[in-house]
Amino acid sequence: MRAAIVVFPGINRERDMAIALTLATGHAPRMVWHKDTTLDGIDLVVLPGGFSHGDYLRCGAMAAQSPIMPAIRAHAARGGLVMGVCNGFQILTEAGMLPGALLRNSGLRFLSQDCHLRVENAATDFTRHYQKGQVIRAPMAHGDGNYFADDETLDRLEGEGLVAFRYATTSGEITQAANLNGSQRSIAGILSPNLRVLGLMPHPEDLVDTLMGGTDGLPLFQALAAA
Amino acid sequence: MIEINQALAASFGLSAEEYANVLRIMGRTPTLTELGVFSVMWSEHCSYKSSRVWLKTLPTKAPWVIHGPGENAGVVDIGDGLAAVFKMESHNHPSFIEPYQGAATGVGGILRDVFTMGARPIANLNALRFGDPSLPRTKRIVDGVVRGIGGYGNCVGVPTVGGEVNFHPAYNGNPLVNAMTVGIARKDRIFLSAAAGIGNPVVYVGSKTGRDGIHGATMASTEFDASSEDKRPTVHVGDPFTEKLLIEACLELMATDAIVAIQDMGAAGLTSSSVEMAGKGGVGIELNLDHVPQRETHMTAYEMMLSESQERMLMVIRPDREAMARAIFDKWDLDFAIIGHITDTGRIVVTHNGVVEADIPLAPLADDAPLYNRPTTETPKRPPLGPVADPVGILAALQKLIGCPDLCSRAWITNQYDSTVGGQTVRRPGAADAAVVRLEGTNRALALTTDVTPRYVFADPEMGGRQAVAEAWRNLTAVGARPLAITDNMNFGNPQKPEIMGQFAAAIRGMSDACRVLDFPVVSGNVSLYNETEGRAILPTPAIGGLGVLDDAAKSMGIGLQPGLGLVLVGTLVGHLGQSLWLREITGREDGPPPPVDLAAERAVGDFIRAQIKAGAITACHDIADGGLLVAVAEMALAGACGAHLDRAPKGIDPHAFWFGEDQGCYVVAVLEPDAFFLEALVMDLPAIRIGQTGGGDLKLDGVGTISVETLRAEHDRFFPAWMETP
Amino acid sequence: MKLVVTVMLKNGVLDPQGKAIGHALTGLGFEGVGEVRVGKRIELELNAADDATALAQGEEMARKLLANTVIESFKVELA
Amino acid sequence: MKLVVTVMLKNGVLDPQGKAIGHALTGLGFEGVGEVRVGKRIELELNAADDATALAQGEEMARKLLANTVIESFKVELA
Ligand SMILES: Nc1ncnc2c1ncn2[C@@H]1O[C@H](COP(=O)(O)OP(=O)(O)O)[C@@H](O)[C@H]1O
Ligand SMILES: [Mg+2]
């Protein structure tokens, strides 16, 4: 697994992501500058979390116009793996590579706390090491994670099994209270139709070490390492 | 043209005597820009004229101290060839004027003090004091300050891992926002600010200069621009995105050999950075303001020298590295401009549009800076409290205390701060007595805390100063860390009042004693005076930021209980209710002396606790502080979602005094083998008594009653959301 | 010349900020407050050959960057 | 009736967002982009006796809640 992390100005979880990928794959990912234009020899492209371009205007809007984006699109079009986490998810929606948009959290406050995710589709290169219906814990840290799409899009995502994760209670129930940011249908992560592009808001990369409180995020990286 | 005279100098904040000194040094009437330079360099903020004589008495040395006070931040050796760089700084007044931007730029400023020394910031903390929660203004300030700290810290990607929040009416018109940053550098790669190398270029990097925060006194001089009042608020707006780029660009350049000296542009921006760099290096400096990147048009020399625009740095670099340095800043889309060079004249010379706007000898500017030994009066000692009856009972008091603004859950605040970015946060806010952050790529971790109990300092400044340092040391100890050093933020009222200066002097004495006995020197700090509104001073608040190290991050200790353990109280608890929260919240009194701190006992008990944690004998540990023993146990129960069965209070002490007294130097520990633990304590001749057993979902107090942990949680969690999320 | 690009959330996209403001206004005692919606006003100096060019450029800027047409609608005007 | 309250940062106050947008537009190849400033547009339905009352209420709302007059200026209009 040859992974690359795209470094947009203002992102800040690239180191966390590199640690998780290194742990799972045994070697350090390549760091790719947003002004680069090629992704040769890469199997997995990761768009990490943070505040690209300060999250000014709209989260991810300016990064979605970066010089590297055509190469990422081409990589996805070839069936390559792409994962966008938090700001990375926002960038993927702004770039139109995943449907919908991420609006301001419904409570209008930044949310930094652990949340629980129910794995909705375990038959992907990202989620194979989880069971469908399994509940995992992950830290969230965002101000704009409120997933929005029109009903038609939501129905299609659900119908085609493209919802990867939903916010849930510890026992796996989908409730309004567990849906901390107000996302439509409690959606926390979605997939492209070929299941090779994943966007999700919470941070599995920050829960890969018992010292930091758990390893619920590790199977995702191990699955990728084996993909 | 504006006339330069004593009246103008007075409006710039210079006294008649100070202005006479300016005239003597210059040998002529200064220009407006020169007067501006003197006024900011001799301001309380930059010159420490009221506090310097006292600050000098603080202990600042230890074998592990690499740089004590005098640099942008303190530097201590933390092993493995690494150094921790840290400092705390206040942004009190700006946060009152505009809470969001005031707090945000406070975070930005302290970050720059740390990365300017070559350290990557790895953690932020803060110490906040607000007024009476029942005032609408307090709510607005809390909301803005919390959003501002989060808005800046989250964006730059430095986890906010700890802090403290208190409420008291003394802060109604003057909240305190103290921000602390901790960074990590290789200990042989620390960057200092002393300029060197005659002819070396002086480089300006970061954001462009605007008319931000130019001294209020000048604002009133509308001659500069008749319509300026409305256009130039003194508020700074922070740009955390640019700060993030600045961090990355500076650290990238610091990995090379290009930088000779570097200094952030903080208060009094270009003036203090250039004066201090040249002054410290014993050289001269020449600036040509035509080359300063400007955001606004027609800026004068005076405005550029005094602007406090954020996210800017000044460097002296090697001339042959200019192209490489420029390329790095270009890559990060930041301004990079050579605005002058180092000279051998010992003077600062500033030109603009071909005119010399300032030409000042640096040595007298620094050496003849005012220094005041202001009169002090001692705070009278408080008489002992005497007996106080318990009007409500133990469990009712516990419920009230655990939910009161000073003790309730801070989750509403900490959940707005990104505490996990970086992936190294071992102990998040609320999980332990100090935050624990691992050093990436090592097994080591830093423990970090901020502490002071202002009501103690107010009642007895010397004991309160001592307590603040002792509590920081204790909190680091409770997570198993070796306490190394502190930074401090001295927030006081008007130093021209002898009783305020007396508080300051006594607090410093108390702090110094504690630092000495605990081997816990001061390596950096900040002083914020004149915290008064309408003649009413804040409570004296010497906030302490403590730093300790753990050789093994996996050995850090939290406060959460688990079932099946013995609960032990270590330390001498006599039930001191003076200045306790119980006294205030339950009887409405703020009376009596604060609890005494016996430094020798503090040290002995703390060293024992640390050794026991290291030996693996302890499973959870919490010091006794605000609210006393029972609140400490309740917090441990909440953190671990596990109850406890507590024995009766010992004979000879009132139960409410036992459960709620705020005696110092005490810890509650949960241990698997109490007998072995008692034996260890006995060997060391330290007081340790069994107080109960963990397990179940309730706190059961023998002879008192039972309350469920979930009931406590409901009380604990209620205040902030109920207060802040209803219009 | 100066362009003004106004960006508002489309109808049907929930606007929590607008809702919160409406709530707060009512809480402050203002009566008769109905729906509140919050959008952006972007003012930009532009050096264009003429008004029509400027407006056309503004449209393109909005479509490419200033608005996300999945959730937002926009309007471009000369100031 | 419908009120529109426009809130902009005062002149001279740094607008980091506007700065970043200007930068991005130039990066996208738009030429001649000068200063960019970003503000808020708040549209609100209001049930008031007449236009003058509505405008007066809007002013008060802006001063009390919608604008931060330390750093922002505002304008109230009827839509
Ligand atoms: N209360 C204090 N205790 C210890 N050191 C202090 C204190 N106040 C200021 N200092 C030290 O004095 C120096 C100047 O501080 P300051 O003016 O805040 O620096 P900066 O301009 O970098 O913000 C720093 O080295 C700081 O650590
Ligand atoms: Mg500094």
Predicted confidence (pLDDT) per residue in B639-649, tens digit: 999 999 999 99
- What single letter denotes the amino acid at residue A93? T
Of B234, B341, B370, B209, nearest to B277 (Cα)? B341
D11 touches B at CB < 8 Å: yes
**Predicted pLDDT of residue D11:** 87
8-state DSSP, A186: G
Question: Can you tell me the ipTM of this complex?
Answer: 0.94
CATH architecture of C2-78: 2-Layer Sandwich (3.30)
pTM, 2 dp: 0.95
Percent share of chain B, pLDDT over 70: 97
Q: What is the CA radius of gyration of chain B?
A: 26
Show the low-confidence residues of chain C (pLDDT under 70): none
Q: Is the pLDDT of residue B226 over 50?
A: no
**Ranges B45-49, B442-446, B633-637: which has the least confidence:** B45-49
Dist CA A148 CA A100 (whole Å): 5
Q: What band does B125 get if pLDDT is binned at 50, 70 and 90?
A: very high
Q: Is the pLDDT of residue B233 over 70?
A: no
**D9, D11, D23, D41: best to mutate for the C interface, most C CBs within 10 A:** D41
* Continuous segment of H or E residues that includes residue C29: none
Strands B347-352 and B284-288: parallel
Q: Which residue of D has its CA nearest to A63?
A: D24
Q: Is the pLDDT of residue B469 over 90?
A: yes
- What single letter denotes the amino acid at residue B685? D
8-state DSSP, B345: S
Q: Whose CA is nearest to atom 2 of ligand 1?
A: B525
CA distances in angstroms from B133 to B140, B238, B588, listed in the order given: 10, 27, 16
Q: Is the pLDDT of residue B216 over 50?
A: no
Angle (CA) B586 B620 B160, round 5° = 80
The 10s digit of each residue's pLDDT in A114-145 is: 999 999 999 999 999 999 999 999 999 999 99
The 10s digit of each residue's pLDDT in B586-622 is: 999 999 999 999 999 999 999 999 999 999 999 999 9
Q: What would the mean pLDDT of A153-165 be, rounded to a whole number?
A: 98
The 10s digit of each residue's pLDDT in B375-394 is: 999 999 999 999 999 999 99
Dist CA B713 CA B403 (whole Å): 9
Residue length of chain D: 79
Count CA atoms within 13 Å of residue A143 on its CB side: 21
The 10s digit of each residue's pLDDT in D10-45 is: 988 999 999 999 999 999 999 999 999 999 999 999
Q: What would the mean pLDDT of B43-53 be, rounded to a whole number?
A: 93
Find the catalytic residue in A14, A75, A86, A94.
A86
The 10s digit of each residue's pLDDT in B280-315 is: 999 999 999 999 999 999 999 999 999 999 999 999
Q: Which residue of B has its CA nearest to A180?
A: B415
Angle (CA) B450 B453 B456, round 5° = 155
**Predicted pLDDT of residue B459:** 98
**Predicted pLDDT of residue B726:** 79
Interchain CB distance below 8 Å, C14 and A103 = yes
Domains of chain D, residue spans = 2-78
Q: Give B46 Cα–ligand 1 centroid separation in angstroms.
A: 9
Dist CA B31 CA B1 (whole Å): 11
Which of A208, A211, A213 minimises the CB distance to B553? A211
**Predicted pLDDT of residue B727:** 67
3-state class (DSSP) for residue B145:
helix
The 10s digit of each residue's pLDDT in B476-503 is: 999 999 999 999 999 999 999 999 999 9
Q: Give B528 Cα–ligand 1 centroid separation in angstroms.
A: 11
Give C67: exposed, middle or buried? Use CB within 10 Å, 0-12, 13-18, 19+. buried
Percent share of chain B, pLDDT over 90: 94
**What pairs with residue A114 in β-bridges?**
A139
Percent share of chain A, pLDDT over 70: 100
Q: Whose CA is nearest to atom 21 of ligand 1?
A: B266
Q: Is the CB of B286 under 6 A from ligand 1?
A: no
Nearest chain A CA: its distance from B554 CA (Å): 6
Task: Give the DSSP per-residue string, B568-628.
Answer: EEES------TT-HHHHHHH----SPPPP--HHHHHHHHHHHHHHHHTT-EEEEEE--TTH
